[in-house]
Amino acid sequence: MSEIIKLQPSEAFQKIQDGAVFIDIIDEEGFSVVAYDGIEATQVTLLQLLEKIQWLDKTPTYITGGYDEASGFKAANLLFHQGFENVGYVAGGVQAWFQDGFQVKYNVSGGCSTGSCSTTSSCDTGFEDEESMGGCSGCSCGH
C-alpha cells in the first residue's frame, strides 16, 4: 500500500488474521464504550500513539479503528505521514464492525462489567444471570 486504505470490516479482519497489527483508538480520557473483540488489539489514544510512534516498526501493515470512522482515519493518517507505508483503517468504525457480525466488547464505567457479544445474541459477561447486573449492560447486545 502506498496510500491510506479504507477497509470494510471483513477486509480489515482478514488482514489482521494475515498478520496486520491492529490499533484500537480510544477517547482522550483513555476510555472506550465499545471496543473490538475477537482480535489482538492495542488500545491507545491518539496522543499515546503519537508519543509511541517513534518506537514502532514501520515494516508491518497497520490497521486502525476506533469508535467511529474518523478516529480510525486520524490514526491511519498520523502513521502514514510519519513514514508508515502499509496503513489502513476500518470503514464505519466499531459500529460497522459489529453490524458485519464481528465481536465487540461493551465497557461500562462505574464498576460495571465488560462482556463480549457474539453474533448469536449471547453474551459472555462472566455472570450466570446477566439480568442480575443491577442495570448495567454487559455488552452491546443489550444483555
What is the pLDDT tens value at each position of the chain, 143 positions in all?
579 999 999 999 999 999 999 999 998 876 777 889 999 999 999 999 999 999 999 999 999 999 999 999 999 999 999 999 999 999 999 999 999 999 998 876 533 334 444 443 344 434 343 333 333 333 444 43
Would you state the pLDDT for residue 128? Answer: 42
Would you state the pLDDT for residue 28? Answer: 83
The three-state DSSP-derived secondary structure of 77-104 is HHHHHCCCCCEEEECCHHHHHHHCCCCE
Beta bridge partners of 7: 90
Cell of 25: 483508538
Residue 111 backbone dihedrals phi, psi, to 5 degrees: 90, 5
Contact 116, 139 (CB under 8 A): yes
| Domains detected in the chain | 5-99 (3.40.250.10), 110-143 (no CATH)
State the DSSP string of 7-49. Answer: E-HHHHHHHHHTT-EEEEE--TTS--SEEE-SS--EEE-HHHH
